[in-house]
Each structure stands twice: as structure tokens, then as C-alpha cells.
Homo-oligomer: A and B are copies of this chain.
């Protein structure tokens, strides 16, 4: 049985049972046995994290940055083994996806987070010299990270965006591995533990538990010793955790389901329909459709160009190779959710069938509905069929499209394709007006699957895409704010202020709002 990492020690778990991951490419269980921890492991991890949190109050941002950078270096030194393990556990191709894509994204994110921790601007230091009041975001306390199945590296619970943001904000992390890639998470935790020891982090800086009961998960996110939780995964499990955390008044940042509507207007199709069909197919089938921002709902206006588009993408979906899915669970959910849509009246264009018995997969699938059908049961029609599928919606008028957008749930993204000559502009304005408040990120002429790690990124959006529309899960320094609490100092003696709030800038680089002016200067 593999060991958990608690309070700086790899040790046997207090296990109630065990589980194994599967190789998606063969449907076979991988040999390692991972423990399902009892509450005792959670309790000890919380205790160690709370103690680490207290010690971290005396660490500078530079010290935390040194840890994150050492961690990134250690990952690079062990990249081949991590990629090998992730490939076995997820079925993702080694070269293009893991080694060439997620891996550099992961280490880059950690280094960006390190730079943010060293700099300190993320914490929005704000100084009112006349009133003698100064405030800044400070560490919120131990953070529990539940990583998703679909980004084993860049959103892994001991390596990814939430981990990097929580640590850069000055917090220890309790990583709850995703059950589909426990071995990958273990390798990351090994790197992190080595880096933590090498850079003098407190014991309990990074801890790893593979799995708990649902009940213990809910207890974990609501424990008084915890500061906050980052969760990326299914809506059902996420909402259960949210309910528990909310009752205890513990912030929980969720990234749940999203169908990511893409409106493609007739002018755009007339102008460059073939190119858009390629873009859509590529985006929708990328990673076998297992992206949070997968375009799962395409909004079209009835007409010849739309008919041609539908014909083209149907052919492309039929011709495209069928990718491997992450798990039997994803495979089963995809089939079940497509069936929900079919039962609700969606017409099958292509796919919706088993594809290859040797591996976890399902045929590339396109379904079609009319706007009228959609509007008659919008909740069911927004069922997310996570994977290599999409629902094409054809409306008779812009009015109908606007109605459809108005009844959408919160989503991470929304896209609108329009022509370059202005024939779509009136429709654009009406659709964008409604779409703007339904999505975190609004795109033009571009599919939503790329999520740049940019300070201006919002990988967030209204409920139920996330739990709070004010926060982003991707983008540094923005993502760090989720793991900070606002700390105000009123009439506090100058020598007792945290460095970032003293008259003299601690590093000359931190941006501070001093009497209403953003500056990198000292107070003179």
C-alpha cells in the first residue's frame, strides 16, 4: 500500500480500504494500492497544517518563493517519471499533451506564483497615511485542494494552479489526490516535500491524502483549523462540499460544470465557415473533449450556411480519431448524459455509441436541437456531457437566440463568432449583452479551450460554473486572492507592521495604493 504524506513524513495511512487507478488505454487496473484514509489521517494533517500555518506567518514572500522555485526545479528533474506515470494513469499522449504541454505550464505557473509571492503586489497593499490605516491580504490558513481528473499536472492537487496560488499566498496545502491519478500526485508530493525540506519550510507545508469517505471530505472542508478549500471537479460532489463548507463559514472556491456556449453567426459562417468548422472540431475534441472550457453548446441561426456548417462538422466528427477518456466513470457519464439529451428530444447527428472495447472511450458525438426544444426544457438541455461531444442548437431568429442565452446557467466562457464586415453586428450586440453576465470570460472569434495563465485571465464565472463570480482559478496574481483574508492595521505602531505595509517598500517592486495612488515608491 502506498504511503500518505502527513506532517513531513511519508507513513502508512490509517486506511479503511484501498483503491487502484486504471490505465485508460487498456482498461486494466494499475498495480499500486492506495489507501482510503480515515478521519484520523485528516485530523493529523489538519493539526500539522495549522501548526505550519502559524510558523509561516514569520516567513517572507521570498522564502515561500524559494520553495516554489525549488519545487519547479525538482519537478523538471523528475519530469520523465511524472510524465510516464501520468500517461499510464490518464491515457494522455506523452509528448504533445504531457511533456510538451502540461508540464511546462505547471512549472511556469509555479514560477509565476513564486514571482508573485516575492513581489507582493497580489495582496493589494493599501495605505491611508492621514488616517493611519493600512491593509493587505494575508494568508487565510491551511488550504485543502481537491484536484480534477483532467489536468493531472497543471491542476494537480499537489502541483497545479490552486496549489501554487495557495502556497504563494502563504498557506500550507493539504492535497487530496484525484482518484484517477494518485500515482502522479504522489510523485509531485515527493518533489514538493524534498523542495520544502531543502528550503526550510515548516513540516506540514505540503501533505497528501489519496481519498477519504464523502463524510470525511465534508468534515475536512468545514474544520475550524482549515482556512479555505479549492475544488475542481463534478458538480454533484462539489455542491456537497460547498454545503458543508458554507455552513461552517469556510470559503470554498469551486470550479464545476460549464457548457461554454459558442454562438456562430451567419455572416461569420458565410465568410469563413470551413475554418470555423475546423476550429470547433479541434477545440471540441482536444483532450477527448475533457476540458472545463470545452465548447459543449453551439448556438446557430437557421439557414444555408448553418446547414453547411452542421454537415461539415458532422463529417469531421465521424472522421476524427476517437480519443481515450480518463476513466470508466467519464465514459459512463458521457453516455448517460448524452442519453439525457436524446431522451429530451435531441437529434443524433453522429456518434453516441461505444467505440473501442479495449480502452475507455466513446464515439465522437454531435446532437442537435431547435431553440424551441431547448427553451421548453432549458435545465435538462444544459446537461453537461463531459467529453468528446457537443450539442448544436439552431434558432429561427436572433430573438430566439437571445432568449436561449438569457436562460443559460452561469458558465466559465462564452464565445461569439461574427463576420468582419458588420453584417452580424446587430445580432452580436444583443447576444453579447445577455451573454456577458452569464460567463466569466467572453471571447470573440476564438474557441474557449485555451486558458492562458495571464494576469487578465478569468477562469471563473457565475454559479454553478463556480461558487463565487468574483474570483478566478487561473491567472497570477489574481488567483492568489482566493487564499487571502483582508487584514487591516489601524494605528498599529510602525515597527509592528508587516514589511509590505511599512513606509519603506520591502523590495522596490511591490505596487501599493498609497493615498489613492498606485506606486512602487516608499512613503516619504
In the complex, the answer to whether B128 meets A444 with C-beta atoms within 8 Å is: no
Contact among B131, B445, B457, B469 with A135 in the assembled complex (CB-CB below 8 Å): B457
Given the known A-B contacts A460-B486, A464-B249, are A478 and B443 also in contact in the complex, defined by CB atoms under 8 Å? no
Given the known A-B contacts A54-B433, A242-B246, A470-B137, are A488 and B455 also in contact in the complex, defined by CB atoms under 8 Å? no
In the complex, the answer to whether A243 meets B247 with C-beta atoms within 8 Å is: yes
Interface SS majority for chain A: mixed
Which chain B residues border A139 with CB–CB below 8 Å?
437
Residue of B nearest to A418 (CB): B493
Given the known A-B contacts A140-B469, A456-B133, A458-B487, are A442 and B126 also in contact in the complex, defined by CB atoms under 8 Å? no
In the complex, the answer to whether A126 meets B470 with C-beta atoms within 8 Å is: no
Residue of B nearest to A485 (CB): B469
Mark out the residues of chain A between 403 and 460 whose CB falls within 8 Å of any chain B CB in the assembled complex: 410, 413, 428, 432-433, 436-437, 440-446, 452, 454-458, 460
Tell me, yes or no, whether A358 is within 8 Å of chain B by CB: no
Tell me, yes or no, whether A491 is within 8 Å of chain B by CB: yes
Which chain B residues border A493 with CB–CB below 8 Å?
444-445
Given the known A-B contacts A463-B249, A518-B511, are A492 and B444 also in contact in the complex, defined by CB atoms under 8 Å? yes
Which chain B residues border A437 with CB–CB below 8 Å?
57, 138-139, 141, 485
In the complex, the answer to whether B490 meets A133 with C-beta atoms within 8 Å is: no
Q: How many residues on A have C-beta within 8 angstroms of the other chain's C-beta atoms?
A: 72
In the complex, the answer to whether B469 meets A251 with C-beta atoms within 8 Å is: yes
Question: A126 to B54, alpha carbons, bound, how many Å?
Answer: 33
In the complex, the answer to whether A486 meets B458 with C-beta atoms within 8 Å is: yes
Contact among B433, B471, B478, B486 with A440 in the assembled complex (CB-CB below 8 Å): B486
Contact among B251, B456, B460, B492 with A443 in the assembled complex (CB-CB below 8 Å): B492
Contact among B127, B135, B242, B463 with A458 in the assembled complex (CB-CB below 8 Å): B135
Question: A471 to B443, alpha carbons, bound, how many Å?
Answer: 29
Which chain B residues border A460 with CB–CB below 8 Å?
486
A residues apposed to B, CB below 8 Å: 54, 57, 126-128, 131, 133-135, 137-141, 242-243, 246-251, 410, 413, 428, 432-433, 436-437, 440-446, 452, 454-458, 460, 462-464, 467-472, 478, 481-482, 484-493, 496, 511, 513, 516-519
6 shortest interchain CB distances as A-B pairs: A249-B463, A518-B518, A458-B488, A469-B485, A246-B246, A441-B488
